[in-house]
């Protein structure tokens, strides 16, 4: 990449103006083996920007200067100006070590390489000093904890780490730690690419990702939540890359066992009959007829046929049903939430494997509903492949995968949270905008389904603004599963099994809350 192009991308990143295409271009460049200098430039730019903000706060966010006419004007101290070369370096070093007040210099302050954002339990540094909130870890410090959790932010790189006890961790340098014991989850931004976590068995190098490393007496393991990491080639093991969903275990003999997560992440849930009952939110499963002309597409070139068919319905606010003509429709289905795998759902409704593999399927649930109480709500979740929620004909949540045709039918603001994994999502949980819902019933439409193939999974949660939710030990709020009926005994047991799987294997979770159930109105 040309230097001028790199500087432009870094500047736009610092200003928060990167497009998705530019973000991918920059990320791909930073992952390259010879891009260490580019990563340093990005870190320097972000540090400089942060130091300018701090200095602006110290100086009242403004400096009085005289213009050529001699009149006084206020010039913002933190100008969004691209700083390169010696100027940027001098500013970064100057603001990091020194502040001047009335011409008098102040001694530089050692802020360490990692600051403590949260600590629950007692943490010891080098076996003596106690670690406190807002404290710092310096190069060479060894942190131990018998129980609890600690959350760290590495200053230079912006790497975010959460570690759980029993813990023994050494900060070797600003971009390298050694994990002797405990669980360590890291979320690494682009400027932190190259961050290293070592265990006694392996060296794990980040290439732009989120991952969890666990170390204990028998060995260690790494689970990639998002992005890409590399493993060194110690012993007889070859250097290799790992991507989202892959798990590797290392024993003390140097052996490595690899396990890839299946596309659906969890087994098929057995929630019994889906026949509607009084008060159920009702839907149907739609598919193309088996005698229809199907696309015959290879699995790696999937086209969202059903999403394209449903697009006019979405664009009309779920009023124009003409696009559904000619499709096969199942008997009525009871909405039992979206949570887990649905590999056999379409087959259970009589859809042939040929149709499933080549054209996929979609379920459409609809009805009038009321939330437990009025207020502002937003939805969370993700699906492989299609998941969309609309309120009063307007899309309020898009949790579909990147190849879904539903995403273009009625676009809605969406934010991905890669540090909070859910089932099989590389992007982590997606969230939608806040939606104000009053005391009157609203029209709810939910679409969920598969583009092509048998393996399908998804999850749909809901959050009420101002409500308090318990967090997992990784810091993820446990929002309630979106339901329109209180689950029966068998369904609750299945959902609890899925919840335990997410908490134990994927470092994510949710709750099954009867008080959060929305009511279907006749």
Domain annotation covers residue 187: yes
Say if CB 116 and CB 132 are below 8 A apart: yes
For residues 250 and 355, what is the distance between their CA atoms, to the nearest angstrom?
42
Q: What are phi and psi of 389, to 5 degrees?
A: -125, 135
**pLDDT mean for each 10 residues of the chain (522 residues):** 78 69 75 68 62 48 38 32 31 33 40 87 90 89 92 88 92 94 88 90 86 89 83 71 80 69 52 79 94 60 84 95 94 92 89 89 96 97 93 96 87 83 70 96 96 87 95 82 92 86 74 95 86
Say if CB 512 and CB 487 are below 8 A apart: yes
Structural domain range at position 17:
3-98
Point out the domain boundary residue: 73, 98, 123.
98
Say if CB 215 and CB 397 are below 8 A apart: no
Domains contained in the chain, number: 3
Q: How high is the pLDDT of residue 91?
A: 33
Domain annotation covers residue 277: no
Q: How high is the pLDDT of residue 321?
A: 95
- 118 and 87 share one domain: no
- 336 vs 482, 485, 494, CA distance in Å? 9, 8, 11
Domain annotation covers residue 231: yes
Helices 36-58, 85-97: crossing angle, 10 deg rounding: 50
Q: How high is the pLDDT of residue 36?
A: 67
- 134 and 234 share one domain: yes
| Residue located via tokens 């050494």 | 170
Domain annotation covers residue 106: no
For residues 139 and 161, what is the distance between their CA atoms, to the nearest angstrom?
16
- 164 and 241 share one domain: yes
* CATH number for the domain harbouring residue 245: 2.60.120.1440
How many CA atoms within 13 Å lie on the side-chain side of 455?
A: 10
- 345 vs 335, 352, 499, CA distance in Å? 13, 11, 20
- 252 and 355 share one domain: no
Point out the domain boundary residue: 98, 126, 143.
98
- 229 and 84 share one domain: no
- 379 and 421 share one domain: yes
Q: How high is the pLDDT of residue 5?
A: 83
For residues 214 and 182, what is the distance between their CA atoms, to the nearest angstrom?
6
> Running DSSP on this structure, what letter comes out for residue 91?
H
Domain annotation covers residue 108: no
Domain annotation covers residue 149: yes
For residues 197 and 218, what is the distance between their CA atoms, to the nearest angstrom?
18
- 155 and 118 share one domain: yes
| 219-231 and 246-251 beta bridge pairing | antiparallel
Domain annotation covers residue 370: yes
For residues 426 and 437, what is the distance between their CA atoms, to the nearest angstrom?
31
Domain annotation covers residue 253: yes
- 363 and 399 share one domain: yes
- 222 and 312 share one domain: no
- 120 and 84 share one domain: no
- 294 and 215 share one domain: no
- 78 and 118 share one domain: no
* CATH number for the domain harbouring residue 356: 2.60.120
Point out the domain boundary residue: 70, 98, 126.
98
């Amino acid at each position: 990449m040309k230097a001028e192009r790199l500087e432009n991308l870094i500047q736009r990143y610092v200003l928060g103006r990167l497009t998705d295409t530019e973000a991918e271009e920059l990320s791909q460049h930073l992952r390259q083996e010879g891009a260490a200098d580019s990563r340093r430039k990005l870190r320097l730019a972000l540090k400089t920007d942060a130091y300018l903000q701090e200095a602006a706060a110290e100086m009242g966010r403004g400096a009085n200067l005289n213009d050529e006419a001699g009149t006084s004007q206020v010039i913002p101290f933190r100008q969004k100006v691209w700083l390169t070369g010696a100027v940027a370096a001098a500013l970064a070093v100057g603001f990091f070590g020194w502040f001047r007040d009335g011409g008098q210099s102040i001694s530089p302050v050692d802020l360490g390489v990692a600051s403590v954002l949260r600590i629950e339990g007692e943490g010891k540094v080098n076996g003596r000093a106690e670690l406190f909130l807002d404290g710092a870890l310096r190069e060479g410090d060894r942190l131990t904890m018998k129980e609890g959790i600690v959350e760290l932010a590495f200053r230079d790189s912006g790497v975010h780490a959460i570690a759980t006890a029993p813990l023994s961790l050494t900060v070797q340098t600003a971009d390298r730690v050694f994990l002797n014991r405990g669980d360590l989850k890291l979320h690494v931004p682009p400027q932190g690419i190259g961050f290293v976590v070592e265990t006694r068995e392996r060296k794990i190098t980040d290439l732009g990702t989120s991952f969890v490393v666990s170390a204990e007496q028998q060995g260690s393991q790494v689970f990639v939540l998002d992005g890409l990491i590399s493993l060194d080639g110690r012993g007889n093991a070859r250097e290799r890359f790992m991507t989202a969903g892959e798990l590797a275990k290392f024993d003390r003999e140097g052996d490595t066992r690899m396990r890839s997560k299946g596309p659906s992440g969890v087994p098929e849930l057995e929630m019994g009959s889906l026949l509607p009952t009084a008060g159920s939110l009702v839907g149907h499963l739609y598919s193309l007829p088996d005698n229809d002309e199907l696309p015959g597409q290879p699995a790696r070139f999937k086209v969202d046929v059903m999403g394209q068919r449903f697009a006019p319905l979405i664009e009309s606010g779920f009023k124009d049903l003409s696009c559904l003509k000619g499709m096969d429709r199942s008997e009525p289905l009871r909405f039992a939430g979206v949570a887990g795998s649905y590999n056999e759902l379409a087959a259970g409704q009589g859809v042939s494997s040929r149709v499933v593999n080549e054209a996929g399927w979609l379920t459409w649930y609809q009805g009038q509903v009321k939330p437990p109480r009025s207020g502002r709500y937003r939805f969370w979740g993700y699906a492989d492949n299609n998941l969309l929620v609309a309120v009063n004909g307007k899309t309020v949540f898009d949790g579909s995968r990147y190849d879904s045709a539903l995403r273009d039918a009625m676009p809605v603001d969406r934010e991905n949270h890669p540090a909070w994994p859910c089932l099989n999502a590389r992007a982590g949980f997606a969230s939608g905008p806040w939606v104000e819902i009053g005391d009157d019933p609203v029209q709810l439409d939910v679409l969920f389904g598969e583009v092509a193939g048998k393996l399908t999974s998804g999850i749909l949660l809901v959050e009420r603004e101002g409500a308090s939710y318990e967090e997992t030990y990784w810091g993820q709020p446990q929002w309630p599963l979106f339901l329109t009926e209180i689950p029966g005994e068998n369904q609750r047991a299945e959902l609890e099994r899925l919840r335990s799987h997410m908490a134990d294997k994927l470092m994510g979770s949710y709750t099954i809350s009867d008080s959060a159930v929305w009511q279907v109105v006749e």
